[in-house]
C-alpha cells in the first residue's frame, strides 16, 4: 500500500505538469457524451422505449457507462493495458523481481488522473437523468448501486486481465485492447434493447453489457434482490478468476525465460 501511495504521488506530480491535457480529455469526453445523447435522441425519434427503458432511464445507463469507461481509461488502459508491451520488451522482469505483489503493481502502476474526471462526469449525468425521471433512489438502492458498480468494475478488470494474459502465450497482441473497446461499445444500451443473437454475444460470450445494465437498474429501481446478489457473486468470482489466471500466466512467463 505504501509503495502504491508513493507511486501515485509521483504519478500525480507528473500529470499535473500537463494541465492542458485535462482540458483536452475533458472536452473529448463531453463531445463523446454529446454524440451518445444525440444518437439516443435519434433512436427515440422513432421509438418510445428501448427494450422497455425510456429515454432518461437510458441516459442514467449512459452515465454509468461513462463512469466505467473513465475507470478503464484512467487505470486499466495505462496499467494492465501496457502488459503486452512489458512482456515483449522484458520490462516485466523488473516488476517481478520487486518485493511487491506484481498483479497489484501492474494494475495500479500508472493512473491517468485526468480521466478520473470522467467517472464524476458520468455519475453527474446519471444524477441529472434521475432528476428528470423524478425518481430519487433510496438508501438501499444507492447501496445496491455501489455494490453492483464495484462488481461491474471487477468483471471489466477480469476481462482485461484475460485479454492481456494472452500476451504471455502470443507475443503479438499489441492492440488486443481494441477487442474490448469494440465489445464494450455495446454496453451503451440496456441488454433488453438487443435482439437475441447479439445478446448472446455480449452477455454470455463476453459479459460486458451487464456491467452497465445492472448498476443502472439499481438506480432506476428495476433491480431485483436475486440479480443484485448474483452480480455481487459474479464480481467476486471475476476477482478470483483474474487472480488465478494471473498466477498461471506468470508461471508460464518465468517458464519461458529460463
Partner 1 sequence: MTAGVRIWARRYSALMRNAWMVDLQYRASIVLWIMWGVMEPAIALGIWWSIAGQGAVGGYTRTDFARYFFALTLINQLTIAWDSWYLDRWIREGDLNFKLPRPVHPVHEAIADNIAYKARSATVLLVIWTVVSLVWPVVRLPFDLKTIAITAAAVILAAMLRFLISFTTGLLAFWTTRATSIMELHAGISLFLAGRIAPLSLLPPVVAGIASWLWFPYMLAFPVDVLTKATTGHAILLGFRGQVIWIAIWLVLCRTAWKAGIKRYGAAGG
User: Could you tell me which residues are beta bridge partners of residue 50?
Assistant: 53
**Is residue 81 within 8 Å of 160, Cβ to Cβ?**
yes
Q: Least CB distance from residue 239 to partner 1, whole Å?
A: 27
Please give the Cα distance from 148 to 211 (Å, whole number): 8
DSSP, res 201: I
Taking residues 189 to 228 in sequence order and writing x for each that binds partner 1 by CB under 8 A, - otherwise, the string is x---xxx--x------------------------------
C-alpha cell at position 234: 459474479
169 binds partner 1 (CB under 8 A): no
Please give the Cα distance from 231 to 122 (Å, whole number): 21
Q: Least CB distance from residue 217 to partner 1, whole Å?
A: 18
Considering only 125, 188, 206, 220, the residue that binds partner 1 (CB under 8 A) is: 188
236 binds partner 1 (CB under 8 A): no
Q: Least CB distance from residue 178 to partner 1, whole Å?
A: 4
Site for partner 1 in 79-108 (CB under 8 A): none
DSSP characters for 157-194? HHHHHHHHHHHHH-S--TTTHHHHHHHHGGGGS-GGGS
Considering only 5, 13, 45, 89, the residue that binds partner 1 (CB under 8 A) is: 45
Number of residues located near partner 1, criterion CB under 8 A: 33
Considering only 175, 224, 257, 258, the residue that binds partner 1 (CB under 8 A) is: 175
Three-state DSSP at 138 gives coil
- When the beta carbons of 97 and 196 are compared against partner 1, the nearer one is 196
Site for partner 1 in 25-44 (CB under 8 A): 28, 31-32, 35, 38-39, 42-43
Please give the Cα distance from 122 to 46 (Å, whole number): 26
Please give the Cα distance from 20 to 43 (Å, whole number): 35
Please give the Cα distance from 233 to 125 (Å, whole number): 28
User: Could you tell me which residues are beta bridge partners of residue 53?
Assistant: 50
DSSP, res 208: T
- When the beta carbons of 14 and 174 are compared against partner 1, the nearer one is 174
Considering only 10, 182, 248, 256, the residue that binds partner 1 (CB under 8 A) is: 182
- When the beta carbons of 195 and 255 are compared against partner 1, the nearer one is 195
Residue ranges binding partner 1 (CB under 8 A): 24, 28, 31-32, 35, 38-39, 42-43, 45-47, 50-51, 170, 172-176, 178-179, 181-183, 185-186, 188-189, 193-195, 198
Amino acid at each position: 500500500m505504501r509503495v502504491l501511495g508513493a507511486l501515485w504521488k509521483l504519478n500525480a506530480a507528473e500529470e499535473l505538469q500537463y494541465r492542458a491535457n485535462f482540458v483536452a480529455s475533458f472536452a473529448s469526453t463531453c463531445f463523446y457524451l454529446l454524440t451518445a445523447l444525440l444518437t439516443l435522441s435519434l433512436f427515440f425519434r422513432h421509438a418510445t422505449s428501448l427494450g422497455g427503458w425510456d429515454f432518461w432511464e437510458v441516459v442514467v445507463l449512459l452515465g454509468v457507462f461513462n463512469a466505467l469507461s473513465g475507470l478503464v481509461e484512467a487505470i486499466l488502459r495505462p496499467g494492465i493495458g501496457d502488459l503486452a508491451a512489458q512482456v515483449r520488451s522484458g520490462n516485466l522482469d523488473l516488476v517481478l523481481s520487486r518485493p511487491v505483489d506484481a498483479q497489484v503493481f501492474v494494475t495500479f502502476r500508472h493512473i491517468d488522473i485526468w480521466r478520473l474526471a470522467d467517472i464524476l462526469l458520468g455519475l453527474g449525468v446519471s444524477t441529472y437523468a434521475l432528476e428528470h425521471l423524478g425518481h430519487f433512489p433510496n438508501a438501499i438502492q444507492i447501496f445496491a448501486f455501489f455494490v453492483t458498480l464495484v462488481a461491474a468494475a471487477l468483471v471489466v478488470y477480469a476481462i482485461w486481465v484475460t485479454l492481456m494474459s494472452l500476451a504471455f502465450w502470443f507475443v503479438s497482441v499489441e492492440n488486443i485492447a481494441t477487442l474490448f473497446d469494440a465489445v464494450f461499445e455495446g454496453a451503451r444500451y440496456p441488454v433488453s434493447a438487443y435482439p437475441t443473437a447479439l445478446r448472446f454475444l455480449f452477455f454470455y460470450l463476453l459479459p460486458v453489457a451487464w456491467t452497465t445494465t445492472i448498476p443502472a437498474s439499481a438506480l432506476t429501481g428495476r433491480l431485483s434482490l436475486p440479480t443484485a446478489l448474483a452480480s455481487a457473486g459474479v464480481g467476486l468470482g471475476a476477482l478470483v478468476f483474474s487472480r488465478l489466471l494471473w498466477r498461471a500466466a506468470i508461471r508460464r512467463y518465468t517458464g519461458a525465460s529460463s
